[in-house]
Amino acid sequence: MTITYVDTCKLPTPYGIFNMHGFADSVNDKEHVVLTMGDVTTEAPVLARIHSECLTGDSLFSLRCDCGAQLQAGMHKIATEGRGVIFYLRQEGRGIGLLNKVKAYHLQDQGLDTVEANEQLGFGADMRDYSILKPMVEHLGIQSVKLMTNNPRKIAAMKELGLQVTERLEHETGRNPHNAHYLATKKGKLGHMLDGE
């Protein structure tokens, strides 16, 4: 097993107090965290979000994407319900890494869309690996989830891991003039389930 549990601590946030569980990936030399609130081991489906790290959106408040808004909305919804989980995976730039993401952004500045930019750099449109979720889910004792996502790949990945997805909850937020083309590309080329125009 490449993913190993490290430790758990309290994480007070503006949305409430979460438990933060640390996991180490020995193969990819990555460190992932899972935030939980309430008892996630019961049979009732757990409100869940799979969130890939986005330094620019999550921490630097970039308007080029909707990532930061999605993370905050997910934390708020879990806090409102009093129970849930956020898998925070260190897969920056759909898995291409931060510096390659800077290169991809530069290509987007010149007119390419997010998929074309990744492909011009020699990457796939989406390089993320969701199989790393399995040991995290097993460690936390999660049986089924209500998944906050617009991405059909995340639903398929959870089902492939043998985890029941009882419901997909629309999670569209953070639309603005700077990311309209980005969102249109996610919908048109990556099949994301987005309603806004």
Q: Per the residue annotation, which of 64, 90, 126, 129 is the catalytic one? A: 126
181 marked ligand binding residue: no
82 marked ligand binding residue: no
* Residue at token pair 């990819």: 28
Please, what is the end-to-end C-alpha distance for the chain in angstroms? 43
H helix count then E strand count, the chain: 7, 7
59 marked ligand binding residue: no
Q: Is 83 a catalytic residue?
A: no
Q: Per the residue annotation, which of 25, 128, 129, 175 is the catalytic one? A: 128
Q: List alpha helices for 58-193, DSSP H.
A: 67-81, 92-95, 98-109, 114-120, 133-140, 152-160, 180-190
114 marked ligand binding residue: yes
Q: Is 25 a catalytic residue?
A: no
* Residue at token pair 């909305």: 73
- By three-state DSSP, how is residue 164 classified? strand
195: buried, middle or exposed (CB in 10 Å: 19+, 13-18, 0-12)? Answer: exposed
103 marked ligand binding residue: no
53 marked ligand binding residue: yes
154 marked ligand binding residue: yes
- Mind telling me the catalytic residues? 126, 128
Question: Which residues define the annotated binding site?
Answer: 49-54, 65, 67, 70, 92-94, 114, 149, 154
Question: Which residues define the annotated binding site for GTP?
Answer: 49-53, 70, 92-94, 114, 149, 154
Question: Which residues define the annotated binding site for Zn(2+)?
Answer: 54, 65, 67
